[in-house]
Structure 1
Amino acid sequence: MEIESKLHVIDWIVLSITLIFIVVYGTYVTRKNSSVTDYIKGGNDTKWWTIGLSVMATQASAITFLSTPGQAFHSGMGFVQFYFGLPIAMIIICVVFIPIYHKLKVYTAYEFLEGRFDLKTRSLAAILFLIQRGLAAGITIFAPAIILSAVLDWDLLILNIIIGFLVIIYTVSGGTKAVNVTQKQQMIIIFLGMLIAFYMIMSQLPADITFKKAIDIAGASGKMEVLDFSFDLNNRYTVWTGFIGGTFLMLSYFGTDQSQVQRYLSGKSIRESQLGLIFNGLLKVPMQFFILLVGVMVFVFYQFNTSPLNFNPKVDDAVANSKYAAEYAILQKEHIDIENRKKILLSDGVQRSEKEVIKSLNERDLEIKASAKDIIDKIDATSMEKIESNDKDYVFIHFILHNLPRGLIGLLLAVILSAAMSSTASELNALASTTAIDLYKRNVKSLKSEEHYVKASKWFTLAWGILAILVACVANLFDNLIQLVNIIGSIFYGNVLGIFLLAFFVKFVKGNAVFIAAVITQIIIFIVFYMDWLPYLWLNLLGCILVMTIATVIQSFKLNKEQLRDEKDN
């Protein structure tokens, strides 16, 4: 059945009603925001469960629900180790960051830095946030748009504009409160959609394949290897990168990134904010585990059902019209032969004697897929239109469109678009708040009214929304979209976290030393990333250590120099 015919009227109705409800509801309930406190801090009356869901929705973008199942399909459950540092980070932020932010009554995280250091350090941290989060906002729009455009044959440019425009409507109108209240609805839709998807996958497995047998089948193919205790720096996801690099990344993201800080600054009290983050810390890792498990079950499903050699729907047409068509057809035939052999072996479950055979067949299938990707890359090099050979981000949407009944396809598409809207709304809200408070208000010397700054925040939200759409329109797919967002964050987050840790704990270090150290650190991190000397998660730890060490050395040198001068004068 053709993909176009799979999206029936009922799917359009479910999709449209869901998205329109979110936009109308968010706009209506927050239409009376008139003060800066209402618009930027949500009136400081947000309950802990709203904070927890809002924090979770901000991080769980469409990329999470498109890329994570594909990550598990190809590489197994090991990606969950990336989140092991999150609960640790939540505890530290609850104990250290939240009490300070609430005591100082700040609108943004970066206000605190001026009081502790100086204006230029505050502005530098704010600008680093604006650069990386501005890019990420574009990617959170682009991620679902590029994939939906490919599989549904919708126009990419129009999709980018529609997703961005829907978010802009209620985010400009209601500010932080609009983001918070809509994210509750979006997370309900997301949880419901993923549970239904899991149930549908399991119900479409052969009658004799129980959940335990499905896990055994996945395990025989190496998909259930959750923990990796190796110290191999070439391995991106291990227990150590999760606990060490992941903790620093999560500390930076949840403690210093305004898109997250703004969620819990809207809390009714310190306790409500802390409970919201603890709620997120307890639920986030199981949620990611479950999303990865969905991807693993999709893998099991395709052990009994035909799967394409490459899940990107544009590949087949591109190959068919190239000189590599015959070569690709040979690979397809061998891929199908391997699938058929595995079906026979797995028909009675996984026997111990057959595990090595299955492992050998999977290894050969990976070799075939690698050869297919090489062919696609050769075609891409000579084609005017980019053809993405890495199909991780297409796996889950392919399953949805080809195997779910009417109505559920619309619901799952609503899940993907809701996730895109929720994270993008948080980002635009935070970008506008930081621009208005840390740059505009701080550098405009004349006194302005509350109404003026609310209007300015709305205009900045609109401007960042338009910029995010433009970034989405010129973006290109990376190795894996969820990795791309985390890579962008890792380049900047460690440096910013180090600045905040210096502010909290190293009292003798002053503004000039921190500013110089931060600039030097950012240059070094760019070089390390460009030269590919470390896995990207370790950039968070490196950036944090570098800025703290360099700032401490500079300040100590300056103090010693002043001490010698004083002794000389005496």
Structure 2
Amino acid sequence: MSGIDWFILFGTLASIAAYGIYKTQGQKNLESYLRGGNSMNWWTIGLSIMATQASAITFLSTPGQAYENGMGFIQFYFGLPIAMIIISVFFIPIYYKLKVYTAYEYLENRFDLKTRTLAAMLFIVQRGLGAGITIYAPAIILSTLLGWSLTWTVVLIGAVVIIYTVTGGTAAVSITQKQQMAVMMGGMILAGIIVVQMLPISFQEALHVAGKMEKLNLVNFEFDPSDRYNVWSGVSAAVFLFLSYFGTDQSQVQRYLSGQSLTQSRMGLIMNGLLKIPMQFIILFIGVMVFVFYQFYQPPVVFNSVQTDKLEQSDYADEFQLLQDKYTANFETSKGQYMELLSAVENEDESQIASIQSGLKGLKSEQSEIREEVKSLIIQNDPLAETRDTDYVFMRFVMDHLPQGIIGLLFAVIFSAAMSSSASELNSLGSTSTIDLYKRSIKKEASDQHYVYSSKFFTAFWGGGAIIFALYASLFENLIQAVNLLGSLFYGTILGIFLVGFLMKWIKGQAVFIAAILSQLLILLIHFRNGEGLFGLHWDIGFLWYNAIGCFTVMILASLIQLVKK
């Protein structure tokens, strides 16, 4: 990167962190530290909620997801507005009435201490691991692209977040997230405009190319439980994930508990429900435009250039060059086919369009085979090498093709996103550890100042833990799917506990506690035997359905256990 790129990158990050520290210095009591003094207006809450969810993984993985599979991933968010309305009507009023610091305080009021502790521990395990992935995901890609040490990249992201989160608490997280969202969306929209301007064809022709290659298929009405993303999973299974994430996950609950009033918190949630789908649409569409760009400008055979650079210096260099030449020939043929496709579209020659589409699919299949052969060489050269490169697509494009200054801004987008999500996670882990475990079960009587310090300690502790986990993590098939999977393993059980509390007043603590443990064990069994089965049974279930299964299992088992106890 150029000097101006480095200046924009570090200047943006330093100014955001410094602003958060400056605006929130002197947080003296627990109320101001954990709930921001209930001073946040609705649009600050809305942006904070969106920034918490829009991690660096969103901006790294989502364009690559669209590049590979089109825009169908957007169906995952179709249930979000439904969930926001349900939470606004049923969840938030209860939290405000009880004046809780964390969502899990409600569970002791409704059930008992062990149920509260169980839910808090499930959250801490899930969110503690998630915080590590949130830091690791951008670090491994940014370190590769920038040639930095992975260790120091992880430490840099984690340390900056820890400093301003520990210093300012919830208010610092919410205030900085406004600036981070401005940087993130401003940078992405600017990148999208530049991509379209760089295309050698018109915007309308680009849409034709994307459409004919099935990259613009937004909805899939085919019901398939093993399919992660279709309309049915989006408006059913994903609703349970969103209900649990936004309604019971302290990293989100803490965002709207800082609102000036119940109305302000509700409006912030509804804002998130209305704007999240358009935001994801924009990011996915940018990925599709990058796909179109690479149909006319040759893409790398593997987007992780570090691995291909190693191949060029290895004993496999000659084999790699042969595959590279083959890949180039494939690209040139494909490029000519796309020009013929556009001509056929202009002439409205449907038979010719169908024929060219068939030929292009064959060329794409050949291209995929070449890529797999190159990846095989990479593994032969380095058995520990990472060959999954979907998450490198967008930032590789940025570094190779965007002008100076914009490159630094886009890297600032990724770092800002990593900081915003990590800050919310560490803030919520610190508050849950303090309020639900330390203050409730370990040191019940202490000064307000003591609990502020303990919250700061736990925030720093979990920040250090996230950094350590990130240093020993390994790259998943796709980072955004990894985060959704991790949440789905635990969210269903947690949501089930809350829904029993809200809707099934006759069920007591012992029944829901046992049901929650059994439900969590069932979900883990389903996941680790998914695609294989057990005891003669076979199942292949998309992980979004874990949320619904876990939730309903808790509710059903709790009912049965309570009936037996009677």
CA contact under 8 A between 1:221 and 1:359: conserved in structure 2? no
2:559 aligned with 1:549: no
Deviation of 1:236 (Å): 1.4
1:44-80 Cα offsets, whole Å, 9 max, x none, are 0100000000000000000000000000000000000
TM-score (norm 2): 0.94
Q: 1:439 aligns with which of 421, 431, 437?
A: 437
Counterpart-to-counterpart distance in 2, 1:169 and 1:143: 20
Deviates more, 1:369-378 or 1:301-310: 369-378
Distance 1:196 1:359, change over 3 A: farther
Counterpart-to-counterpart distance in 2, 1:226 and 1:446: 52
Distance 1:364 1:343, change over 3 A: closer
Distance 1:30 1:154, change over 3 A: same
The within-5 A match list for 1:113-512 is 113-206=107-200, 209-320=201-312, 325-347=317-339, 349=342, 351-352=344-345, 353-370=352-369, 372-373=371-372, 376-377=375-376, 379-380=378-379, 383=382, 386-512=384-510
Counterpart-to-counterpart distance in 1, 2:15 and 2:22: 10
List gaps (5 residues or longer) in structure 2: 346-351, 531-539
CA contact under 8 A between 2:378 and 2:387: conserved in structure 1? no
Deviation of 1:152 (Å): 1.5
CA contact under 8 A between 1:216 and 1:350: conserved in structure 2? no
Counterpart-to-counterpart distance in 1, 2:88 and 2:432: 22
Counterpart-to-counterpart distance in 1, 2:484 and 2:502: 25
Runs of 4+ in 1 over 4 A off after TM superposition: 321-328
Deviation of 1:371 (Å): 5.2
Counterpart-to-counterpart distance in 1, 2:59 and 2:475: 16
Counterpart-to-counterpart distance in 1, 2:152 and 2:27: 31
SS in 1 for 2:304: coil
CA contact under 8 A between 1:492 and 1:522: conserved in structure 2? yes
1:241-282 Cα offsets, whole Å, 9 max, x none, are 111111110001000000000000000000000000000000
Deviation of 1:232 (Å): 1.9
Counterpart-to-counterpart distance in 1, 2:153 and 2:489: 29
Counterpart-to-counterpart distance in 1, 2:358 and 2:229: 22
Partner of 2:44: 50
Give the aligned residue type for 1:467: G
Deviation of 1:334 (Å): 3.0
Deviates more, 1:213-222 or 1:337-346: 337-346
Deviation of 1:99 (Å): 0.4
Counterpart-to-counterpart distance in 1, 2:120 and 2:377: 42
Counterpart-to-counterpart distance in 2, 1:350 and 1:68: 31
Distance 1:366 1:183, change over 3 A: farther
Partner of 1:527: 525
Deviation of 1:357 (Å): 2.1
CA contact under 8 A between 2:20 and 2:175: conserved in structure 1? yes
SS in 2 for 1:76: helix
Partner of 2:536: none
Counterpart-to-counterpart distance in 1, 2:506 and 2:430: 33
1:451-482 Cα offsets, whole Å, 9 max, x none, are 00001100111101100110110111010000
Give the aligned residue type for 1:25: Y
SS in 2 for 1:78: helix
Partner of 1:563: none
Counterpart-to-counterpart distance in 1, 2:258 and 2:290: 39
Counterpart-to-counterpart distance in 2, 1:490 and 1:345: 42
Give the aligned residue type for 2:393: V
Give the aligned residue type for 1:498: G
CA contact under 8 A between 2:337 and 2:360: conserved in structure 1? no
Distance 1:350 1:150, change over 3 A: farther
Give the aligned residue type for 1:430: S
Distance 1:517 1:510, change over 3 A: same
Deviation of 1:323 (Å): 5.9
Counterpart-to-counterpart distance in 2, 1:28 and 1:268: 21
CA contact under 8 A between 1:167 and 1:421: conserved in structure 2? yes
CA contact under 8 A between 1:259 and 1:430: conserved in structure 2? yes
CA contact under 8 A between 1:90 and 1:251: conserved in structure 2? yes
Counterpart-to-counterpart distance in 2, 1:146 and 1:127: 28
Deviation of 1:419 (Å): 0.3
Aligned length: 550
CA contact under 8 A between 1:15 and 1:413: conserved in structure 2? yes
Counterpart-to-counterpart distance in 1, 2:214 and 2:22: 49
Give the aligned residue type for 1:74: E
Counterpart-to-counterpart distance in 2, 1:269 and 1:185: 23
The within-5 A match list for 1:17-96 is 17-96=11-90
Counterpart-to-counterpart distance in 1, 2:388 and 2:473: 16
TM-score (norm 1): 0.94
List gaps (5 residues or longer) in structure 1: 1-6, 560-570
Give the aligned residue type for 2:276: K
Counterpart-to-counterpart distance in 2, 1:225 and 1:558: 51
Counterpart-to-counterpart distance in 1, 2:62 and 2:355: 27
Query: CA RMSD of the aligned region, Å?
Result: 1.5
Distance 1:38 1:191, change over 3 A: same
CA contact under 8 A between 2:60 and 2:138: conserved in structure 1? yes
Deviation of 1:370 (Å): 4.4
Counterpart-to-counterpart distance in 2, 1:159 and 1:376: 26
CA contact under 8 A between 1:164 and 1:469: conserved in structure 2? yes
CA contact under 8 A between 1:133 and 1:431: conserved in structure 2? yes
Deviation of 1:87 (Å): 0.5
Deviation of 1:380 (Å): 3.0
Give the aligned residue type for 2:392: Y
Distance 1:464 1:356, change over 3 A: farther
Distance 1:413 1:176, change over 3 A: same
1:177-203 Cα offsets, whole Å, 9 max, x none, are 000000000000111101110011011
